[in-house]
Structure 1
Amino acid sequence: MRLRAIGATFGVLTLAASLAACGGSKSDVEQGSAGQELKGASLRVGSKEFTEQLVLGQMTLQLLRAHGASVTDKTNIQGSTNTRNALTSSLVDLYWDYTGTGWITYLKHAKPIADPTEQYQAVAKEDLAKNKIVWEPPAPLNNTYAFAIRQAEGQQLGVKTMSDLANLLKTKPAEATFCIESEFSTRDDGWPGLKKAYGMNVPAGNVKQLDTGVIYTETAKGSTCNFGEVFTTDGRIPAKHLQVLEDDKHFFPVYNASLTLRQQIADKYPQIQKIFAPVAQKLTNDTMSRLNAKVDVDGYEPKQVAHDWLTQQGFIK
């Protein structure tokens, strides 16, 4: 289960038990080393379970502590719905989510908004009105779905866009083989919707369902599949020399990352927006891809990757 994983919805008691096992350790950053704006605040930080979320969660823990807050690590929650439920049921106080997830998964809209600014504004307005959830100004990074192929194979097949891929299915169907996640196979903003949008008739034998990490490995090998479902800020894309196909019909939603928190917390601690706005501005696709690669390719811990980047950017000492 990954970025926009829906997952089974647990009850509050079950979720509380799972959160108790998620963490509880504090960041090594010295409390108040960057300021005392949040002195006296006690905040629980959540995140989903995949690399990017773990890095963002560690950034949040360290920044809050550096500005004087006492923090509790509740990161590494399984799935989007469980993480969101932790926020709305006050088991965590804030975590990073994605505008496309908010619009489609939480607010139940079938059709995404193509313009990133309009998508963010729509999510922020509706979620605040309906659920009293605040979406802070988003980062430029757009961790959306995509399909990728080995660079050399993509050039050989002449496939650069999803429309090219749809055409390949008609001319060389044996070459159009796919690796996808089980959840992606059933999502409206995933496999069923994608096939409909691009008019793709894919033989069942051309599709293999694999775990997320395995998809990158097998796509790079090219034996199980030529085309793998990927996430656009994943550091394994450049590391494994994969070429991302252009979504030329703009089917996939925009997934800009945004710090989310309950209105009660945002109102009580307005300093949070001031602290995190400049951080969000620097989180581009390229930046996040490099940070993710530090974990997934180079083997560093998310905590260390977050600390190093925040230090290099001057956000913490």
Structure 2
Amino acid sequence: MTMRTGRRRGLFRTAGLLAAGLAAALTISACGGGSSNPLDTSTSAAASGPASGSAAAGGGKIVVGSANFPESALLANIYAAALTKAGLDASTNLNIGSREVYIKAIQDGSIDLVPEYSGVLLQYFDPTATAVSADDVYAALVKATPQGLVVLEKSAAEDKDAVVVTKATAEANNLTSIADLAPVASTFILGGPSEWETRPTGVPGLKEKYGLTFKEFKALDAGGPLTLNALLSDQVQAGNLFTTDPAIPANDLVVLEDPKNLFAAQNVLPLIRSDANNAQVTEALNAVSAKLDTATLTELLTKVAVDKQDSAQVAQEWVAQNLS
């Protein structure tokens, strides 16, 4: 199971956006973090702030929580907007903190549900888990989820590690997947966080699963501006970014497919307390998962983190346009 940085369950990553030579800093994550994110200016889809959770099954208010990074707050706002559209009384309590904190908040009833990522949530509930594919991770997660909690349907949207190249490099070398690097890896410099040099999901894993031996590994950062700048300036020919990073579409970069699942699946899905769930809640949230994919999440996150649009408004507009 891949983890981004030395921290077991979280990271705030900074990704530089370069267009026409200009870099702008972002801080985004898929796995939760431990401190407040200054770029998160999102608001709730209904009423945000401290709340005491309540059971949807009893007709009460549903409180949607989030971790303290923009992508999680955006997803929470989407869930709240979808529930509201379905006729339920939903509010948000955003930027709660790390996974340890917000899962406790679900369990004690302070909130009712939270957006999560399948791979890291499975690892949280079962540190011995070895599943990596989307379906296998989800199946294992359903079994590992503690009594009193339930995960609903997974979406196609993922925020996970990726090996990324420029469009020019991809076209020049016919690259669509990591496996396609085999003929050229010996001439390529690979860039990524320093821990990639020894981590099973870094250089050793690329060699073991794909038979790749790169010309050199250059220690840079965890999907941040150093890696992005190095890719764009051809200092490295392949680098580690994250799949919902707005820098990828902004710079026309190519995410190489991972057919051998070196990086465990990280599908976005709702984690909800069982007594806050019912058929109406499940239907509303599963409808979100059915429509949400990585490209869509990236586009929405760009509006929030780059264009500085209000997170709740972005969520409400997407729900209005995509959910019947």
TM-score grouping bracket, smaller chain normalisation: 0.7 to 0.9
From 179, 183, 193, give the equivalent of 2:192. Answer: 179
Q: How does 1:1-317 map to 2 (within 5 A)?
A: 6-7=9-10, 26-28=44-46, 41-66=60-85, 67-69=87-89, 71-73=91-93, 75-114=94-133, 116-127=134-145, 130-170=146-186, 172=187, 175-180=188-193, 189=201, 193-200=205-212, 206-214=217-225, 217-266=228-277, 269-314=278-323
Change (3 A) 1:222 1:234: same
| CA root-mean-square deviation | 3.8
Deviations 1:229-273 (A, max 9, x none): 22323333122110111213222222222111122322xx44311
Contact 1:179 1:225 in 2 (8 A): no
Distance 2:63 2:198 in 1: 33
Task: Report the residue type matching 1:123 in the other structure.
Answer: L
Change (3 A) 1:255 1:184: farther
Gaps of 5+ in 2: 12-33, 48-55
Contact 2:42 2:312 in 1 (8 A): no
Contact 2:45 2:81 in 1 (8 A): yes
What is the aligned length?
288
State the percentage of identical aligned residues: 26
SS of residue paired to 1:299: coil
Normalising by structure 2, we get a TM-score of 0.72
Distance 1:131 1:184 in 2: 36
Question: 251-260 or 211-220: which moved more?
Answer: 211-220
Distance 2:84 2:249 in 1: 33
- Which structure carries more strand by proportion? 2
Q: Please state how far the C-alpha of 1:120 moved relative to its aligned partner.
A: 1.9
- Which structure carries more helix by proportion? 1
Normalising by structure 1, we get a TM-score of 0.73
Distance 2:304 2:136 in 1: 32
Gaps of 5+ in 1: 9-16, 30-36
Distance 1:279 1:107 in 2: 26
Contact 1:219 1:227 in 2 (8 A): no
Distance 2:61 2:198 in 1: 39
